[in-house]
Structure 1
Amino acid sequence: MDSTTLEAMRAALRGPVISPQDPEYRKARTVYNAMIDRWPAAVVRCSDAADVMAAVDFVRGEGLELAVRGGGHSGAGLCLVDDGVTVDLSPMRWVHVDPAARTARVGGGTTLGDLDHAAHPFGLATPSGILSTTGVGGLTLGGGHGHLTRRYGLTVDNLIAADVVLADGSSVTADETENADLFWALRGGGGNFGIVTSFSFRMHPVDTVGVAITLWPVDRVPEVLTWYRDFLPQAPEDLNGFFAALTAPPGPPFPEEIHGHKMCGVIWCWTGAPDGLESAVAAAAEPGPPAFRFATPMPYPALQTMFDALLPAGLQWYWRGNFFDRITDDAIGVHAKYTESLPTDLSTMHLYPVDGAAHRAGPDDTAWAYRDAVWSGVIAGIDPDPDRAGAIREWCVDYWEELHPHSMGGTYVNFIGADEPQDRVRATYRDHYDRLAAVKRAYDPANLFHTNQNIEPVALA
């Protein structure tokens, strides 16, 4: 970017335009995953939708590369682009809750923690992820699943409107009646169609939830996972539990005798009557008494922040995912093998339930193409040491390659790794891909928004 363009952008925008010469640049180009090391020509911190519109006009007019940053959690590092412009929405962190209508409208740079904090005093929440530092934008556009999914569906099932800056620099509203094709595509189609400057969500009565953690030694993976695959799909929708392979963290509530031990377990969330948690998770003793069991009521935002300290920004991450409609005996064998060989204390595998309320949406209601999936799995190699980056990637890829034949073929789009081929995007959208490509052609024919898990505009006949 030449200096004339840089100064013109600074004159037109209210928010700062940060270049490599500026002292804030190092921080501005830092994202959650420390494995990402990219050098934008400028990071544009947009203060409002008008800034976003001006930034898009400049980028398009100068023929520059464009990336969009919401919360900065993209595991693949898609919120940064070398020698281009990152449109950074982080200053746009605001939440307006309407408790009477049970809705919330949030800015494009809002985090899950911001939304949970603002909604909790009204006894409200909406399904989202499991780390409060995650950006609402990227999570929502990919689909969104977490502790409330079995009870209230995916995040996109609760999106009721979005304000979007398009590739031509204009701003539109998308909902069920206005720009309905765009609204359909936004609900799972990723960042392909524009920059969402605000999201409006349907909220649900969620206040204090029951939280439980049950852990078993690593050699119990076959029994525990066999029980879990049969138990959870039949459990009440008020009970959500994701299966995890992990190393027991060295701190409370985990007792010292299991610190550093490789284990498997389930993290439970109960949204039913407060006195129902114990009976809901009582079945967890079926595969044998857990080595560790913890259960307590807690405010929903406390559950959402439970893992924040364990997984702060600045770690090395490499991840890949799969959808599953069943957990086969052969897959259980793969999980047991790679749980035994967890390469670092933070590396993990999660199986998130995406059934229950998420199955009540029709297969074509949103761009999310796996309404028949029962679990969304992610394998994540994680470590603070850059020298371990190769090892955690190798473990993750080996695990994924052995497990993938037992999957449904696609994955949650936010779990696609940085170096996976384009056919993974097609597999993730199944027969929705061509419809998404047509929407892309209508709203972004030149593919300005391509620094993402990209859907190319369908060619004109």
Structure 2
Amino acid sequence: MSFYLFSSVICLLFAPGGFSAAVGPSGPMNVKAALTKPNMGWTSPNILSFPGQQSFANATERWTVFDPPTYSASITVRSESDVVKAVNIARDLKVPFLATGGRHGYGTTLGRLQNGISIDLSLLKSVSVNKDARTMTIGGGVRFRDMVDPLFAAGLQIQTGTCSCPGMVGVTIGAGIGRLQGVYGLLSDALISATVVTASGKVIQVSENSHSDLFWGIRGAGANFGVITSATYRVQPLINDGIFTSIDLIFPASKNVSYFNTIASMVNGNGTFPAKLALISNVLYNTTSNQTEIVANMAYAGPQDEALRAMAPVLALQPVFTNLTSVSWKNLNTATSFGLDAVICEPNGIRSIYSAALRTLSAESSISAFEKLSDFYAKYPEGRGTAISLESFPPQKVREIADSSSAYPWRQTATYLLVELSWQPGSTVGDASKALALDLRKDFAATSGYPDLSVYVNYAHGDEKLEQIYSAEKLPRLAALKKTWDPENLFAFNNPLPTHYP
């Protein structure tokens, strides 16, 4: 069994903290001179790196190299004070910058930054668990894989995305969807407080009781307001001693109609999709069978007997392959979905993503998408790395939490569509791939249950309207926050907000 490698469609990806400054006239030499002046007070002499150095390559390596930002210098910060200095220097020089944790952000708006400064947060990796208070505080560079062991050892868990490598703060500030959202809500709903370095270089604490307006805004549009150096979350006791029931499945092309009709019935069944069950459906090309297939994973937060009852409608379709396992919460991202997390997390691939948030999953649109992708594979063999993912995460707890509680606007969403385009360097399939993605996104948006295309900000391509990402209802308040906290638009590259709306 050999799948044509698809690189992220089963991951929850996000901009891991794309923060930026307005473009100005300072060139690379001026930037280097400013950063290397004596008595700068950096916490380490090795904090700075420049093009041509291996340390620079390490500090700026990206998950996707499609339409990427470029840098003339990198600052690998080791403390909050380093972040403050970096922001102040970039602002004073009028040089664009991005502060990043996992560097998995793939929105094409990031590529508007050229010859800027990289503020690398990857060494801010502290993880502190308070078992009695059921809280966890992490540094701004922590990835999901960094915190699962200490949290699990304390008998606790938290809702996460579906891959081990993205930065946790970056996922959070977009909202943070994932397998456990039906039980606990979004990852941003678990956020208690955050430490933010603002555009003015001040360090502030934001929470429901401190700068509550900004706390509202960072949960859904956080890349627009500051650099988050640490965050504290509410965590939960392990469900079923932390043991999930997971099953990987493969369905041949001949069963795509019955499969999509079944999962649409489950997902749209007015609460009949169990809160503890998550279903990820991928349509991709199998090089062994030379056909389009559905490769799926169902994960249930509970014992096997409960899980099999919840999974019964899908299992009744008699997949051609099943692998039923018990998986601990700490290994949920790495041990499920055929163990592809290690491959998926490999950096430096060409990946271009289009998406849509679906309040209603249309079986007809799904079946049509399967047929269109099959035709695409036949016509463009170089495009067989392209895949479709439908992430069906129970919305129960997400919908219980008031829409007004945060900036995230799409709490009614039950399934997230991802069309991931991937090809090898030098291929000519890029234009055809884009046309396919736009066609599929249009089809699903028309049947999504929302009046227009709606897009989870962490999945935004960058060509969407502001209203399609943040919603017309949220934008006036977000624009007012932008004017208050970042009037000079320093944070301008990650699906940026205006300072006035409309």
Query: Is this a same-fold pair by TM over 0.5?
Result: yes
Q: How big is each residue's C-alpha offset from its partner over 1:117-137, in whole Å with a ceiling of 9 and x where there is no partner?
A: 221112322112111011112
Deviation of the 1:45 alpha carbon: 0.9
Hey, what's the Cα distance between the residues in 2 that align with 1:268 and 1:328? 19
* Structure having greater relative contact order (Cα 8 Å, sep ≥ 6): 2
Q: Distance in 1 between matches of 2:153 and 2:498?
A: 43
1:107 aligns with 2:124: no
The alignment status of 1:168 with 2:200, answered yes or no, reads yes
Amino acid corresponding to residue 311 of structure 2 in structure 1: V
| Cα deviation 1:353-394 (Å, max 9, x = unaligned) | 251211111111111101122222211113454526615444
User: How does the TM-score come out when normalised to structure 1?
Assistant: 0.91
CA distance in 1 between partners of 2:147 and 2:50 (Å): 31
Partner of 1:169: helix, strand, or coil? coil
Q: Name which of 64, 76, 90 aligns with 1:33.
A: 64
Distance 1:336 1:39, change over 3 A: closer
Q: Give the conservation status (yes or no) of the 8 Å contact 1:9–1:55.
A: no
CA contact (8 A) 1:110 1:137 kept: yes
CA displacement at 1:398 relative to structure 2: 3.2
Q: Please give the TM-score of this superposition, normalised by the length of structure 2.
A: 0.83
Q: 1:10 to 1:314 in 2, by over 3 A?
A: farther
Matched, 1:307 2:332: no
Question: Do the aligned partners of 2:274 and 2:394 also contact (CA within 8 Å) in 1?
Answer: no
Shift of 1:436: 0.8
Q: For 1:8, which of 37, 48, 51 is the aligned residue?
A: 37
Aligned with residue 75 of structure 1, among 102, 106, 115: 106
1:270 aligns with 2:300: yes
Q: Tell me the secondary structure at the aligned position of residue 110 of structure 1.
A: coil
Residue number in structure 2 paired with 1:443 = 485
1:223 maps onto 2:258 in alignment: yes
Partner of 1:104, secondary structure, is strand
Tell me the secondary structure at the aligned position of residue 188 of structure 1: helix
What CA distance in whole angstroms lies between the structure 2 residues aligned with 1:404 and 1:9?
55
Q: State the distance in 2 between where 1:9 and 1:72 align.
A: 30
**Which amino acid in structure 2 is aligned with residue 236 of structure 1?**
P
Aligned pairs for 1:248-263 within 5 A: 248=286, 261-263=291-293
Contact 2:386 2:419 in 1 (8 A): no
- Checking the alignment, whether the CA contact within 8 Å between 1:214 and 1:266 is kept in structure 2 is yes
Identity of aligned residues (%): 22
**Secondary structure of residue in 1 paired with 2:228:** strand
* Offset at residue 143 of structure 1 (A): 0.8
Query: Considering only aligned residues, what root-mean-square deviation do their CA atoms show, in Å?
Result: 2.4
Q: Taking structure 1 as reference, are residues 150 and 310 closer, same or farther at Cα in structure 2, changes over 3 Å only?
A: same
1:43 corresponds to which residue? 74
Question: Which residue is 1:318 aligned to?
Answer: 352
**Correspondence for 1:375 among 405, 412, 415:** 415
Q: After superposition, where does 1:156-305 map in structure 2 within 5 Å?
A: 156-206=188-238, 207-232=242-267, 233-248=271-286, 261-273=291-303, 275-286=305-316, 288-305=317-334
Shift of 1:247: 3.5
424-433 or 55-64, which deviates more? 424-433
Counterparts in 2 of 1:21 and 1:14: CA distance versus 1, 3 Å: farther
Q: Deviations over 1:159-193 (max 9, x none)?
A: 11111000000011111111100001111113001
> 2:179 matched to which residue of 1?
147
Q: Tell me which amino acid in the other structure corresponds to 1:227.
A: T
User: Which residue does 1:398 correspond to in 2?
Assistant: 439
**Aligned partner of residue 304 in structure 1, secondary structure:** helix
Task: Answer yes or no: is the 8 Å Cα contact 2:107–2:495 preserved in 1.
Answer: no
Residue in structure 1 matched with residue 496 of structure 2 by the alignment: 454
Find the counterpart in structure 2 of residue 336 from structure 1: 370
- Provide the residue aligned with 2:9 in structure 1: none
- Asked if 2 retains the 8 angstrom alpha-carbon contact of 1:142 and 1:188, the reply is yes
Residue identity in the other structure for 1:130: T
Q: Give the residue type in structure 1 aligned to 2:427.
A: D
1:123, 1:156 → 2: CA distance?
Answer: 21
Listed as ranges, the gaps of 5+ residues in structure 1 are 251-257
Give the superposition deviation at 1:424: 4.2
